[in-house]
Structures are given as structure tokens and as C-alpha cells.
Amino acid sequence: MKQNVIVIMNDSLRRDHINAYHVPPPWKRPGHEDEPFIRTPSLDALAEEAMRFDRAYIASYPTIPNRTDLYTGRYGFAYRGWQPLEPKDVILPELAGAHGYTTALFFDTPPLGAGNYNFMRGFDAWRWIRGQHGDRYITDPRVPTPIDADRHKIRSWEGTQRYLRNQANREYEKDYLAPRTITAAMEWLEKNYMQDGFLLWIDTWDPHEPFDPPPHYLTLYDKPDYQGQHIIFPQYGRADYMTPEELDHVRALYAGEVTMVDTWVGYLLDTVKRLGLLDNTLIIHMSDHGHLFGDHGLEGKPGGQLGTLFEPTTRIPLMIRHPGGTGAGQCIEPIVQPPDILPTILDFLDVPIPNTVQGRSLWPLVNGEVDRLHECAFSGRYPLGTMYSYTATSFDGWAGPDRITEPLTVTTEEWAFICAPGSWPSHLYKLDQDPNQDRNVIDVYPHAAASLHERLIEFLEAMGAPADRVEKFR
Amino acid sequence: MDPDTALYVIHDRSGRLIAFPTREEAEACVISEADDPTVQERSFAWLLENAPKALVRIYYQYYWAEELA
């Protein structure tokens, strides 16, 4: 009998918003000081049976580049940006399918299916739950789209209206998008649990903005007497266009979305258990990046000169539950990255890993055969070309001028080196002493910065970055 | 940003300046309840000198004026 794999991707889920990571709360919640900072009982329960990777860092950023890394096992940001899958890409669903696994994808993450992006490619079955933000779905002009906020505070007024129009028929929690996506996956499981080996990929846009949770989740986190604006899709960049109270409200909206997602991940895991799949199914839970809520004075996923990738964005949750109990409840400290996921899955399924893959299987690390897989994590995004910039901007807030080259981040257990292109200043943070990255110590530790800089150049060259891209970081 | 660049400025509810690269964008964001619900044309140099922490919305995000100098 073949085994199964379920991948649960929750977009924009910050690591410090899952209790199981035991991260100090990044801010206070007025009116809720004596309550849990975040409620994630389902993911906490999963963590007790899973390996929790404590230094999982993004490679390519944000959504589409991340999924490309996951599908291909490659570090795309070295040489490609936000773009459709290319015909020559060797991708996970096709590899699994070619070895007899039934593959299915359920998603509401709109760019995966938009235009010619074709991230359904290779799956035997897929279903796009329609209606997220940016999804060209409902055009009925009679649907009211009230936005209770000043226009300059909303990232995309028309996009938010479109989202509200898409959501007009929503009534109960089950009608929200993450619940609908996960429900579709649960229904698929009920019909397919007996398949001889399957790969099920569930991709929810939540807790990505618009931050629009059911009210009963918002009240867990919102200041009880809040009467201010309802900024569900906050503008990116400098965060002080919002009042402190508005920022607290946005943070509460996000936390409400996280708890909603957690609830439905719990229902999914209950279904997996009910169908008897826990003993033959690998379960992977992860996100693709974080989202800033006033961290470093910034909101969202800013770009350009504000595009430094700090820890709240780069350090992501990753949990893997092995059906045989391998590593259950353990915290895995060494650095891992999304390109490692594909070889890890293929290794588990006993499918040969193609030579196109740049990541490394996690199993030798988990099994103690090696101490670490990577000395450094490399994170960044490739500058956009104008061909794809509209799609990237409208779906995932790709802020910043087209083609601008943004800083790249090199992370070790001790350091985060922000390597800026051209004449912009680079930064160095000593993470073991300064986890919030408040003090740039590049002048104190120039040799450490030089060493990390050298590794970045070696990495870019090894991963196939064009010479002109490498040159910008020399 | 070139010091002579024309920006179109509105006030938010607290009186803070918010600048846009086009009059159209600024007019769309005018807050009728603000103390000064008008759009004013200002050069980037003027903004830098008089309100370096004014918010400038370009490239789909807010910068402080001083960050664009």
C-alpha cells in the first residue's frame, strides 16, 4: 500500500500567531491583557503529534514565488519572479501522479488559478473556491459594498469592493472562504480516503487580507469598546496613517482570521482521524510568509526601499506529522526552507527526486543522520517584469516599482544579514541577542557581515542567478 | 524624488498631510470631515522642508517624505 500526503498551506500566517511556537506576543491586546494572545487549539494539538520546525525561513517571496519553490523544490528568487509555471518546470503533482498517486488541489488562493498561472497543472482533480479578493467573480452592481474607513487607508478600494461583492451571499461561518475550501477538501477525503496513495494540497488565502473574520472571532481580540474605522485591507508601507487604536483593530481582525483558520484546520484533522488516515498519511502544515502590523513601523508587505525582509515576514511556521510518530512533539532547531518540502514529500512517498531539485529532504535531519541541512537561509524576491506586475500587485500587494531590486536576507542561527543592492545600506542583526532586530550592528561586526555577504554571492551563483542580478549585490 | 516633483496633498482627520502623485488620486481620498477638505499642489521640496514625516503614497504604499529624498 502506498502512503498519503496532505499539505495544508495557510497564506500569511505569522509564526508568532500559533501558540505552539511559544513566541512572546509581539504586541498587547487592549482589553484582553489577561487572556491568551492567540487561540490556535487545533494547530497546538497538531504540534503535539508533529515535528515543529523552529527555523523555517522563506526562500522566494511572496505567494506565487513561494508556491513555485514548493512545486519545484527550487530557489526561484535567484532567477525568476512572480510568473506562471513554465512548461519545463518539473513539479510535485506531476511527479507524484507519474508514480501512481492520486492528486487533488483545493484552493481559494486566487493567483494560483488566475489567468495563465496554472498552478492546478498536474493534479488529477482540483477545485477553486471562488470569491477571494482580487478574484474576478461577481460583477452585480446592485450588491452594496460599504467600506467603513477613509479611502486613503485602504490598499485597494476597488479591490475591496470587489471582495465585498464576492462575499455578498455569506451568512454563516461555514460560508467564509477558508471554511469552504477546507470543507471541499474534507468532502474529497470522504470519497477518496481509500485511494492507494494520494497527495492532497489545501491552500487557503486566509489569514491573508482582507482581514474579515466572523464577528465571534473578532470579539476574542478586539478592544471591547472600539468604535473606530474598520480597515479590512490596510494600505502598505509606513503604518502611521492609522491611529494606534486602528492598528490594534487591524491586529484583532487578523487574529480573528487566524483562529477561524485554526478551527477549520481542526475540522480537517478530525476528518483525517475519522477516516482512519492518521496511520498512513504525512501531514504538513505551513505558511508562505508573515505580514507586518506595525513591526519596524511598517504595515503589510512593503517593497522598494521599505522592502527589507525582517523575521516576522521570513520566519514561518512549519509542522510535519509523520504517521509513524517520527519526531512527534519535537522541536527541530536547524534551518529549513520551502524548497526542502518537495524532496521531503518525494522521499516519503518513495518517489525518485529529480535532479532539477535544489532543496534537500528533511528526513536525514529528522532521523539524526546529519546535524543540519543548511548553514544559512536565503530569502528574497526577484524583481518583477512589467508583464506580470498587474497580477502580482492586484493579488498579493506587490508594492514597489517594477523591476526594482530589493534587499535579500541571509539568516543563520546567530545573524540576519540584510544585503542591500547598489548604494542602499545593508544591515546586520545579532538574532541571539536582538531577536526583534532593533539594533543594526553591521559596524560592530563587519567580518560577520562580510562572511554572510560572500555566502550570498556564492548562493546566487550556485542557484543560477543571472550575472547582472548577482552584480547588484556584490 | 526630484525636488520639483508636483505632489497633491490632502489632510487626514488629525490634520496630517497625505501626498499623492496625481490630483485624481488625491481628490478620491479627500475627507470631507477634515479641517481642510481641499487638494493642494505642493512641490516635493516644500513637503520635505515643511513636513518630512508626511506620508507620500507611491508605488502602492506609504513612504515618509524624507525617505524619498
Task: Encode burial over A108-139: b for 16+ CB neighbours within 10 A, e otherwise.
Answer: bbbbbbbeebebbbbbbebbbbebbbbbeebe
* pLDDT averaged over every residue in chain A: 95
Q: Looking at chain A, how many residues does it have? A: 474
Task: State whether B59 and A399 contact (CB < 8 Å).
Answer: yes
Query: What's residue A167's pLDDT?
Result: 95
- Averaged pLDDT for residues A123-139: 95
What are the CA-CA distances from residue A126 to residues A8, A82, A268, A358 (Å)? 15, 22, 17, 27
In A54-197, alpha helices (H): 63-72, 92-98, 157-166, 177-192
Cβ pairs A/B, distance under 8 A: 60
- Residue A395 C-alpha cell reads as 493579488
Task: State whether A304 and B61 contact (CB < 8 Å).
Answer: yes
- Averaged pLDDT for residues A87-111: 97
- How many secondary structure helices (H) and strands (E) does chain A include? 13, 16
The C-alpha atoms of residue A174 and residue B34 are separated, in whole angstroms, by 40
Residue found under cell 485554526: A262
The C-alpha atoms of residue A315 and residue A398 are separated, in whole angstroms, by 19
Task: State whether A151 and B28 contact (CB < 8 Å).
Answer: yes
The nearest alpha carbon in chain B to A401 belongs to B59
Task: Give A-chain residues touching B60 at CB under 8 angstroms.
Answer: 155, 236, 303, 393, 397-400
ω into B3 cis (within 30 of 0)? no
Q: How far is B41 from chain A (nearest CA, A)?
A: 17
- Whether B31 and chain A come into contact, CB under 8 Å, resolves to yes
Query: What's residue A405's pLDDT?
Result: 86
- Which tens digits make up the pLDDT trace of A163-182? 999 999 999 999 999 999 99
Task: State whether A306 and B63 contact (CB < 8 Å).
Answer: yes
Q: How far is B8 from chain A (nearest CA, A)?
A: 13
The nearest alpha carbon in chain A to B65 belongs to A238
- Averaged pLDDT for residues A307-334: 97
Q: How far is A153 from chain B (nearest CA, A)?
A: 9
Q: Which residues pair with A285 in a beta bridge?
A: A8, A319
Task: State whether A305 and B64 contact (CB < 8 Å).
Answer: no
The separation between the first and the last C-alpha atoms of chain B, rounded to the nearest angstrom, is 6
> Count of alpha carbons within 13 Å of A421, Cβ hemisphere only?
20
CA proximity to A426, closest of A383, A469, A472, A462: A472
Residue from A148, A150, A391, A402 to probe the interface with B (highest B Cβ count within 10 Å): A150
Q: How far is A236 from chain B (nearest CA, A)?
A: 5
- Residue A157 C-alpha cell reads as 478600494
SS3 A88: coil
Tell me the backbone φ, ψ of residue A410, rounded to 5 degrees: -115, 125
The C-alpha atoms of residue B31 and residue B9 are separated, in whole angstroms, by 12
CA proximity to A100, closest of A172, A231, A2: A2
Task: State whether A236 and B64 contact (CB < 8 Å).
Answer: no
- Whether B46 and chain A come into contact, CB under 8 Å, resolves to no
Nearest to B59 among A150, A243, A304 (CB): A304
Inform me whether the pLDDT recorded for A388 exceeds 90. Answer: no
Starting at the edge strand found earlier in the chain, the sheet holding A408-411 runs: A377-379, A408-411, A415-419, A427-430
Task: Give A-chain residues touching B59 at CB under 8 angstroms.
Answer: 303-304, 399-401
Residue found under cell 534551518: A335
Query: What's residue A386's pLDDT?
Result: 47
Cβ atoms of A29 and A252 within 8 Å: the answer is yes
pLDDT band at A390 (very low <50, low <70, confident <90, very high): low
CA proximity to A102, closest of A5, A34, A36, A184: A5
- Which tens digits make up the pLDDT trace of B5-60? 999 999 999 999 999 999 999 999 999 999 999 999 999 999 999 999 999 998 88
- Whether B55 and chain A come into contact, CB under 8 Å, resolves to yes
Q: How far is B40 from chain A (nearest CA, A)?
A: 16
Q: By mean pLDDT, which of A6-15, A107-116, A370-379 is the weakest?
A: A107-116
- Which tens digits make up the pLDDT trace of A354-365? 999 999 999 999
**Which residues does A185 contact at the CB level (< 8 Å), separation at least 6?**
A104, A106, A200, A202, A268
Task: State whether A151 and B55 contact (CB < 8 Å).
Answer: no
- Which tens digits make up the pLDDT trace of A23-82? 999 999 999 999 999 999 999 999 999 999 999 999 999 999 999 999 999 999 999 988
CA angle A410, A415, A419 (to 5 degrees): 35
The C-alpha atoms of residue A262 and residue A256 are separated, in whole angstroms, by 10
Nearest to B61 among A151, A152, A303 (CB): A303
Q: Tell me which H or E stretch contains A365.
A: helix A363-366
Residue found under cell 505551513: A286
Considering all CA atoms of chain A, what is the largest pairwise distance in Å, rounded to the nearest integer?
A: 63
Nearest to B62 among A241, A243, A397 (CB): A241
- Residue A281 C-alpha cell reads as 498519511
Task: State whether B55 and A241 contact (CB < 8 Å).
Answer: yes
Q: How far is A455 from chain B (nearest CA, A)?
A: 30
The C-alpha atoms of residue A293 and residue A230 are separated, in whole angstroms, by 15
